[in-house]
Amino acid sequence: MSPKNTNDRAQLPDGLRTETLAVRSALPPSQHGENSEALFLTSTFVQPDAATSAQRFAQSEDFTYSRTSNPTVRSLEARLAAMEGTEAAIATSSGMSAILLLCMGLLKAGDHVVCSRSVFGSTINLFAKEFGKFGVETSFVSQTDLQEWRDAIRPTTRLFFAETPTNPLTEVCDIQALADIAHGAGALLVVDNTYSSPVLQQPAKMGADVIMHSATKYMDGQGRVMAGALCGPSALIKDVFGPVMRTAGMVLAPFNAWVVLKGLETLSLRMKAQSEQALAVARWLETRPEVARVYYPSLPSHPQHELAMRQQSGQGGAVLSFELKGDTPEAARAAAFHVIDSTRVLSIATNLGDTKSIITHPATTSHGRLSEAQRQAAGIGQGLIRLSVGLEHVDDIIDDLLRGLSTLNH
Ligand SMILES: *Cc1c(COP(=O)(O)O)cnc(C)c1O
């Protein structure tokens, strides 16, 4: 009897759960049988002969050149697709380049996009400014008012773009309802799932056509690399986005793919632990006299609490925001700066989903380019603080916030 090939065991059984897929989905191992996914740091691949080379270049399936595909990146794509419950996935150099790939693949001059006005700031700029230059028009509508989405539809509408929950106010939209409206208009629904990750919510199961990720956030989870992805049906990923990627080259570096592969293996544990810690911090903040309001989906005071809990597997994620009291914008800003500057453990930075807790002042960072009137309309006050809760002991996070809060005049 010939010795068994390790690859005979590489085919996983059907019906595995997200936690298992996050650890086990990948390409089959190499001939060495490595248990952990290998890092293929190579830009090109040697071909056995000219005829095979010609065939591989024609098909773009086997490995030829790392702008076309790379085994480490392919393993990450397999894992992401398995976790999102889509047929395929394509990895990109960042979250923003995933949106660039999306739009280069699906839109042309004259097309129209409907987008929530509460999505990530750079996403708004990309649609409004950069794609605008190429004749793609975008209408920005309410995150929560479905009628605004319906009213924005034109004969040229190709895409709906949504993100849920949003940054920093954690507004939630109804994915299934948006999918129905988009499909009724012959458009596709794209969901930026960065904030929930497939552990909390799988938008494809609620009718979304393409799922976009910034893997820089929870998926890496330890703030080390930039990465992004699109997940969806093969007809889009392989036939529409694949050719654009091969030409335009917004590819993910193999090393970054390897880091994210490793991050995904602990994603479900981290999401659960960070959601629990964030809820404890949010509940505590609600008891503080210096705090006017706390925004966090798991709090019953959240306006879309029930929808959020139904859509997000009962978890709120790591990100919460809170508004400090202040009679004037100047007083509120001074209070926010005092609380931020009094921390000794939290990082003053703009990232999220990291194991290190991060504190941010949205009005002067992510939303700093807006006018005060635009900020007011968006609900981003000068007293607003955003927190991405990490894995330090929750009491140390609370004590760190208390340093500033307890010395505020309120
Ligand atoms: C960070 C982020 C992006 C952009 O991703 P990058 O990896 O920074 O390019 C897009 N959407 C959301 C929700 C994000 O948080």
> The whole model's pTM is what?
0.95
Distances (CA, A) of 78 to 3, 83, 85, 253: 28, 9, 10, 16
- CB burial class (10 A; 0-12, 13-18, 19+) of residue 328? exposed
The pLDDT value recorded for residue 132 is 95
**Ligand 1 pocket list (CB less than 6 A):** 94-96, 120, 122-123, 163, 192, 194-195, 214, 216-217, 226, 228
Distance 381 CA to ligand 1 centre (A): 22
Distance CA 177, CA 58 (A): 41
The pLDDT value recorded for residue 4 is 59
Which atom of ligand 1 lies closest to the CA of 194? 13
Q: Which two tokens stand for residue 366?
A: 């992510």
Pairing mode of beta strands 137-141, 157-163: unpaired
Distance CA 181, CA 340 (A): 42
Distance 95 CA to ligand 1 centre (A): 5
**Most ligand 1 atoms within 8 A of CB, residue of 122, 130, 321 to mutate:** 122
The protein residue whose alpha carbon is closest to atom 5 in ligand 1 is 95
Task: Report CA 225 to chain centroid distance, whole Å.
Answer: 14
- CB burial class (10 A; 0-12, 13-18, 19+) of residue 301? exposed
- Residue with tokens 């809060």, as numbered in its chain: 405
Cβ-contact 230, 101 below 8 angstroms: yes
Neighbours of 316 (CB within 10 A): 27
The pLDDT value recorded for residue 1 is 42
Edge-to-edge strand list for the sheet holding 384-388: 291-295, 319-324, 384-388, 358-360, 347-348
Answer whether the bond into residue 165 is a cis peptide, omega within 30°.
yes
Question: What domains, with CATH codes, occur in the chain?
Answer: 17-264 (3.40.640.10), 268-405 (3.90.1150.10)
- Average confidence (pLDDT) per 10 residues, the chain, 410 residues: 57 94 96 96 96 88 91 98 98 98 98 95 92 96 97 98 96 98 98 98 98 98 97 98 96 98 98 98 98 98 97 97 95 97 97 96 89 82 97 98 90
Distance 92 CA to ligand 1 centre (A): 12
Neighbours of 170 (CB within 10 A): 27
